[in-house]
Amino acid sequence: MSEILVVGSLAYDSIQTPSGKVDRALGGSANYFSLASSLFAPVRVVGVVGEDYQSQDIELLKSRKVDTSGMSVVKGKTFHWEGAYEGDMNEAITKKTELNVFEHFDPTLPEHYRDSKFVFLANISPDLQLKVLNQCHNPLFIGMDTMNFWITSKLADLQQVLKKVDVVLINEGEAMMLTGAKNAIEAAKKVIALGPKALVIKRGEYGFVMYTQDQGFFILPAFPIDKVIDPTGAGDTFAGGFFGHLASLGRKPLVGDLKEACIRGSILASFTIQDFGVKGLAKVDMGALEMRTIQYHKVISI
């Protein structure tokens, strides 16, 4: 079992969906990722929050044995995102983004974080992702996420990060924007040509597409959920389950390991979407995960 380092946002989200509305629910990529990955392996989190960040929200991570010594509490307010989902809820409608203390986030790793074997660079500016990698000592496996804003505004830095990572986990729209491709299948080979060894395209209710140069495509559906409450954080949960499984193996992952990691990530994401914010994910233990994994294998088997 190896330690996982995650660097990303710690936030409060105000969300409206057809199922209801919540104000300032706990969110942020690093929170979703940490709650998912800590089911499998030790997690070290780096992020910044304001004075309004609730102590019980830090305790939630600690209750999962997440090392929070890389979290900084600074003067000001915590990053706040407000969004809504309509119709099939596959795309968020952003109503307001208040970066607050996250605007000046400058990730500095505690000394004992720097030997982390598994490193996940969540959706932050690619120049900050590069800064994090420069502080790491010989990681075994590196992954990253990004978003449309960085693809259009900081492409040169993003291309440098792509050359340094083992896997990229992005959604279908981002994959097409990055490559100019018309669909996920066309985009896959073009992303791999930019440097990473593997690509996972997260497709929401349609599951995922994984592509590696050695073994090509691995495609499966999502776990069937008849009522989606809130899809926020599903992609970060997927990444957490993915990295958690790999870190639990304690070695350099093989392609077969990446396939199983995709299944773990997909199943954990199915818990996240069943409640607002991190509530659904926070209730999950390994027993619930294993039970749903058995159900999922029945769905995909012949």
Question: Helix, strand, coil proportions of the chain in percent (round to 5)?
Answer: 40, 25, 35
Cβ 228 vs Cβ 273: under 8 Å: yes
* Burial annotation 137-147 (CB, 10 A radius, 16+ → b, else e): eebbbbbbbbe
Q: Is 224 helix (H, G, I), strand (E, B) or coil?
A: coil
148-184 pLDDT, tens digit each:
888 999 999 999 999 999 999 999 999 999 999 999 9
Task: Find the angle CA(33)-CA(220)-CA(18) to the nearest 5 degrees.
Answer: 60
Question: Bridge partners of 89?
Answer: none
Q: What is the pLDDT of residue 213?
A: 87
Q: What domains lie within the chain, and their CATH numbers?
A: 4-300 (3.40.1190.20)
Mean of all residue pLDDT scores within the chain: 95
Q: For residue 235, is pLDDT > 90?
A: yes
pLDDT per residue over 274-284, tens digit each?
999 999 999 99
Is pLDDT of 15 > 90? yes
Closest C-alpha to 142, from 195, 102, 220: 195
Stronger pLDDT, 86 or 236, i.e. the higher one: 236
Indicate if the pLDDT at residue 87 is higher than 90.
no
Strands 79-84, 93-98: pairing kind: antiparallel
What per-residue confidence (pLDDT) applies to 90? Answer: 79
pLDDT single digits (tens) 109-136: 999 999 999 999 999 999 999 999 999 9
The string of pLDDT tens digits covering residues 58-75 is 999 999 999 999 999 999
